[in-house]
Amino acid sequence: MKQSLSSTWDQNHRENSIYNVGAEVEDLLFHRNREPVDNQITERVLRNIVEKEDAEAKEQVIDGEKRLLGTKLEDKRFQKHEDFAAEIDTDYHPAQSEIATEVFQNPADMAFRTENLRYLRDRNLPDKVSSHKIGMFPDMSLLQKDPEHLARPKKRYKGLSSRHGEAFGSMGWIGATQLNTGSPAGEEMRTEEFFHSFFDGGEQPSMLDVVPAVDPLFASDPVFEKNDDLYETVAEGGRDMVYDLFVSKSPAVLRRGTERWGDVLDEALPTNENYGYIEDLRGLEDQEDYLDMAMERPMILSPEIDASDVEVLDPETREPVGSFEDVYGEDSTWVMPGLSEVEESTVTFEQFLEDEMYLGEVLVDGEMKPVKVDHSDMEDEEFTELAGLGPEDGAGYFNFHNTFVRPDVAPKNNGVVEFRSFSNSDRSYEALLTQNSLMHVYQDVQELFAGHGLTSDNSLEFREDAKRRGLDAELPSGSTVQSVYENELVDVLSEGVRESFSGETPYSMEVVLEGADSYDDFGDYLQTEFNDLSDFAEYTAVAFETGVRPEPGEYSGEEHREEQEKFVDWFVDTYRETMHEYLEDEFKGDSYDTRNFQTESKKLEKAVNEGGLKKMLEVTARPETGEAR
């Protein structure tokens, strides 16, 4: 519903968006029988829902005019519970089946482990507090007020006890082995402790620190609403995203990896050593440490290789007795590198790349037969592709090398670890795309907050401030999220202000950006440092031309009119472009109101050129003309 309303909110809704998506909208939709539909906002809300959601409209002719009495909504935006039933492959333990989950309606639930909000509602709230009242008091933090009441009941390790709403219920438990049979290993962890260690980013803010502050931005901020798919992306992600991004990437659970994740799984897997613990989200694509670790691990299985490259050995003498093709009449085979009970025959991936040959065993009629694999006659390009290191992703050695668990865990399951079973449904495929894009969204947000000085040390203080207030949260730099977003500088900040201007930043802007950090907003800065805009323009002009920053009042703007004109032109152009984009989003984005768009565009041009934003700035910047400011 928030997404549907995004383009039709009036100014009041934009300024108080968090407040208005709470109780007010709920009143409009669910308590309408107490008052007639006679206000404009309600009419626009319901009309928009009808158009966007294909809802069934209830209309009645009153005084010769059609009136909208209400709507019947089909909530297509989120899939129904039945669609998320797990597809259990009976060859495997049920705890290894695809995670059965419902989508999260906002990313904060991912951190705080609440169930779907339908089930949360009034059931888990403190006595005499209803969800309706919470919508009216967005500053109220339930976790802070009554954490004991809201805490989920502590679960024992019972394996697969429930397939709905459990904290990682169907994928084994915290601290368990890679086999994920549900048996405990090591100390129990509280859910909150687990998430802290799971997302701990060292000096970078962890996901748990960032999510509460970011949640309101995704839900209602105008900057993000420009992306029509973003809210659906967030909703589709949820626990499924946590599972697929951080747990499925473990080598022990990779199955049909190229189908499910493509090259992301093959190239950016974390190791078993940091299983369930990613030090920094932004380091996912940095493979150096992982590759070093992977190269030293023993190989477990080859891909399907040409039988002509495999020589059968005599079990007693280890002497060649013929090619695999001649002896067994097969065109291709699978080889397990290394010989049983011969420790020296273990081959690492690094050795394989160097020697291009190794000893191994093949399963024939229920028995393991010793063989020698030799790829040394291959062309370099062909061998690189077979090794799984070529430009094209294929079923090479490297893929299979990273499919299995490390050797100190493998003996628990007779040397080979079972895979998880995943469905290959359309829904799974769509989820992968959204989860992948969501990872990049979170990555950008994390970098944005890190750039403002948020670290693990100050994150708790920041989190308390930001948890339910969202846009009102102060950043450690002295600016506030609110002032940043009011000026729609999100993309500018994320890339760096100077880069976004391609090296052509007006000196005036540099002065503002450097000085504004110590003030709450740009206006305070100007009022404190300069008497008015003319002083500011003169000051920047002198500083720009001389390279020396004079004290206010020690210069004349008369000699530096050219720089002032540059500043005025830049300001006017920027204002015009920004407002034009805003008008396009407002009138053309969703409702296609072309006539109003053209009318407002003409008003804008008139205000800028004739009415005279430019003239006003020029007069203000030139006090010597004697005209009133």
pTM of the model: 0.26
Q: What is the pLDDT of residue 191?
A: 47
Whether the CB-CB separation of 444 and 494 falls below 8 Å is answered with yes
Q: What is the pLDDT of residue 473?
A: 35
Domain ranges of the chain: 2-72, 298-392, 496-625
Give per-10-residue mean pLDDT for the chain (629 aa).
50 50 53 53 64 66 75 52 46 40 45 41 50 49 47 40 36 35 39 46 47 42 42 38 41 37 36 32 39 63 84 88 87 82 78 88 80 90 81 64 38 30 37 46 61 65 53 35 37 35 44 52 52 54 54 49 59 67 63 64 65 51 38
Q: What is the pLDDT of residue 544?
A: 52
- Burial class of residue 82, CB neighbours in 10 A (0-12, 13-18, 19+): exposed
The distance in angstroms from the start CA to the end CA of the chain is 46
Q: What is the pLDDT of residue 373?
A: 93
Tell me the three state secondary structure of residue 602. Answer: helix
Q: Token pair of 512, please?
A: 């503002």
Q: What is the pLDDT of residue 311?
A: 92
The whole-angstrom separation of Cα 67 and Cα 580 is 34
The whole-angstrom separation of Cα 78 and Cα 46 is 19
The whole-angstrom separation of Cα 478 and Cα 628 is 35
Whether the CB-CB separation of 345 and 318 falls below 8 Å is answered with no
